[in-house]
Structure 1
Amino acid sequence: MTMTGSGVRPDAASGAQVDAAPVLSLHGAELSFGTRKLWSGLTFDVKPGEFVAVLGANGSGKTSLLKVILGLQPLSGGQLTVCGHPVSRGSGEIGYVPQQRRLDASTPLRARDLVRQGVDGHKFGFSRVSKRVRFRIDDALRQVGAEEFANMPVGVLSGGEQQRVRIAQALASDPAVLLCDEPLLSLDIRSQRTVTSLIDQRRRMRGTAVVFVTHEINPVLPYVDRVLYLAGGRFRVGTIADVFTSKTLSELYGTPVDVVHVGDRIIVAGVPETEDIPPHHEEPRDEESKS
């Protein structure tokens, strides 16, 4: 899907198609585990080409939100639609980029084999790669600049290169929505910039909506259209200027939070690192995730 010649007006400052129907819509959404509500009354739409950053302390429900959109976790209440219909597990309309974790050096899969899983990974067994599937694999690798190591074992690639391949895998089905779960963790600054630039390029060129979970706003600051901030069972949706203020974050957390804008960076002080997590709830709290 392209943004030119479509009769849809793109936002001049981003890739968002402001007059288009939403590709992702939550209305009165609620997610509870036992007696604890992670969030409730969550209502917002994501338009084609829009970049939405999701932030909040670890345990606030960011990864759980992605699980809901992926069809892995049912809502406790409210509605969710993707491209106008109820979400289904394994939908080709949704691409998913997981947290960056190094693959073992002995992993036998080539980069193109991993990308292929984004096209027909739902099928059982192995089959000959058709011309159509080969084209989609090659196109996805090209989009992320990974053609040169397409036939290399993924285990020998650098962390940044592996993450490029994961993005290609997520794009291979030509999704309308790209979900990114802390994809910059453990990457150096150069690789972080490369990854965010690739995702931004995709949403601008193809109109793919991006929902980007992160614990740090600054690496994605140049690309964000809106922020969804989750905290203490409450939330705020708005632009950077709307959400990243001392008043707004202090109200969300119920404790003084200082927000300072320094040049092209935002410094936030006083935000709790974690929230209480109910038993058997799988919101990650490992060493690699301090979201």
Structure 2
Amino acid sequence: MAVTMCQVMGFVLGALGLAGTIAATAMDMWSTEDLYGNIVTSVYTYSGLWRSCVRQTSGFTECRPYFTILGLPGLFQAVRALMIVGVLFGAIGVFIAIFALKCLRMGNMEDRVKATMTLAAGVMFILAGICAVAGVSVFANLIVTNFTLTTFTSSDAGVFAGGYGAGGFGGIASAPLTPRYTFGSALFVGWVGGGVLVVGGIMMCMACRGMMPERDRYAGTAYKSATHSAIYRSEAKSRPNYDESFKAHSMEGRRSNQKFDYV
């Protein structure tokens, strides 16, 4: 019962993690514009892996997909590839885990086959979670790097304008000249989805150990060397035990020393 519950929980967590990874891959809010210190708040910009969007305070939103592939940075394309591979691994793991469930009977499938399929599904979940977490982390590193560079450049421009400007123009010039971007909601969804996938894969691997038949789990037999007393005892049993009754009788009726009967 415990093995079945562990397998079912691993399957449910893997399916939820796959759904979170798919949602994070399709979401547009991977990076959102940081409005702190920005004097223009009527326009809000955010972007994802497939398109960038602009939303106004009136509620009107316009999105534009990335029409080029070669013009995108290499790390950005690597993030795309990692997320797609994670979704594929997760989908394969869910497909295998459906047929490997112990509570479902698929013909005359043996427990050993189900245990192997459960292990394969667990490995797929773990690989999918690692790909999702890695892709989201690489994109987060890109956001942090660009945010730091934008802040450094804007502060230098603000100091320059404050030194040579007049009155309150220095405060206006100290605002970011280019929009800065921070973490979007898709990053957190991707992190959670990848972590849930890894946990589900570990639970599936743990269930595989309990599903293995006893003869496969303990296939080897212990070797026990024979002791000296056993050797002597076996040699003593192998010797023929001749009794006096087996002695042949002589012609005169007396017992002979010969131990053979003549027929």
TM-score, with structure 2 as normaliser: 0.22
Structure number with higher helix proportion: 2
Normalized against structure 1, the TM-score is what?
A: 0.20
